[in-house]
Amino acid sequence: MTGKNIPRKIPGFAKALMRFQAFLLRRNWMGALGEELMVITVTGQKTGRTYSTPVGYLRDGNTIVALSTHGGSHWYHNALAAGQAKLEIKGQAVNARAEAITDEAERRRIFELYKRERAKNFARLFGVPVDAPAEALEQALALRVFVRFTPQGE
């Protein structure tokens, strides 16, 4: 196997792993991880096809918040373009309105919520430990974008 072959195999494996993870999440078979991962289904802007992917989430009152990096994932761009997405949390599906959180004070509040609620996974989510110096935390926040999902029809 040459180095050129490796990149082609990893994306296929990663996609299969994400499909399997989505299968488990949809059936609420992931135990405690179901409190941190949901399946988001969006419609592609260019293709019109639906795409489902596992995404980390955090509850914020009656809304749900997810994060992505600047430049964003496909789910991020598609959810915001459509203004909506289907979320599946702990085996329950809900349609939700999607909006970017752009207000800086609100972004900081959500960041602090992540520090409290996801301290164990904070370094994986933001690339720095929760107790990193203020400058490193500021850089981590600057590289992330947040989406608020508001359930519809409730």
Distances 16 to 4, 23, 87 between C-alpha atoms, Å? 20, 10, 20
Q: Dihedral of the CA atoms 104, 108, 82, 150 (nearest 10)?
A: -120
Mean pLDDT of the chain: 87
Domain positions in the chain: 5-151
DSSP character string of 57-118? -EEETTEEEEEEETT--HHHHHHHHHTEEEEEETTEEEEEEEEEE--HHHHHHHHHHHHHHT
pLDDT, one tens digit per residue, over 20-67 is: 778 778 787 777 776 889 999 999 888 899 999 899 999 999 999 999
Q: Model's pTM, two decimal places?
A: 0.83
Give yes or no for a contact between 149 and 142, defined as CB atoms under 8 angstroms apart.
Answer: no
Compute the residue count for the chain: 154
- Assigned CATH topology for domain 5-151: Pnp Oxidase; Chain A (2.30.110)
Name the more confident of 7 and 97. 97
pLDDT at 154: 54
